[in-house]
Amino acid sequence: MHRSGAEIALSLGVLALGVGVAAVTATLPSEGGYARIGPNFIPAVVAAGIILLGLWLSFEAFTGGWRKRDEQSEGFEPSPFLWVTGGLFAHMVLIGWAGFIIAGTVLFLCVARGFGSRRPARDLLIALGLSVGIFLFFVKLLNVSLPAGWLAPLLGGAGI
């Protein structure tokens, strides 16, 4: 059975990051306002997701290595790190100018490509659905202003 030290270290690092986020989240106040959702709700969901991801990656790393990972690719292919980093920088540039939904969609597409997805049409549909859903959740339910950007005419009064 192949065990990569890098995969194990990264997996345990993601798990430790999730535990760290959970520890900081535990220090946030939990009492909710009129919506009965306190300021620690979303960070707790994020912490749980990171912990689950860390556990999953650790399981994969300790039981034979991460599955379905290409050992070699044909020609030049940017590394997953470059795809994810490029997506983060694109998100930072686009969020104030193009809006949350477009920036989130671009980020999702870059991260999906960095993680090896070769189905851009499917990824685009998922990215748009998630970005619109998250945008509406924050703007309509939590009453948090997010930039609507280029899609402001389609979103009516949602966002800023």
Write down the pTM of the prediction.
0.62
Could you report the per-residue pLDDT of 118-145, keeping only the tens digit for each?
Answer: 999 999 999 999 999 999 999 988 888 8
DSSP for 117-159 reads ---HHHHHHHHHHHHHHHHHIIIIIS------GGGHHHHTT--
Position 150 scores a pLDDT of 92
Q: In whole angstroms, how large is the CA radius of gyration of the chain?
A: 18
pLDDT at site 143 = 86
Distance in angstroms (rounded) separating the CA atoms of residues 38 and 46: 14
Output the pLDDT for position 19: 96
* pLDDT score at 68: 59
Asked if 49 and 69 count as a contact pair (C-beta separation under 8 A), the reply is no
pLDDT at residue 80 in the model: 86
Query: Which segments in the chain show pLDDT lower than 70?
Result: 1-2, 32-35, 67-77, 157, 159-160
Give the pLDDT of residue 7: 83
Model pLDDT, residue 74 = 55
Q: Helix axis angle, 5-26 relative to 41-62, nearest 10°?
A: 160
| H/E element, 61 | helix 41-62
Query: Tell me, what's the pLDDT at 2?
Result: 67
- b/e string for 62-78 if b means 16 or more Cβ within 10 A? eeeeeeeeeeeeeeeee
Q: How many CA atoms lie within 13 A of 72 on its CB side?
A: 2
Cα-to-chain-centroid distance, residue 61: 21
**Amino acid 36: pLDDT:** 72
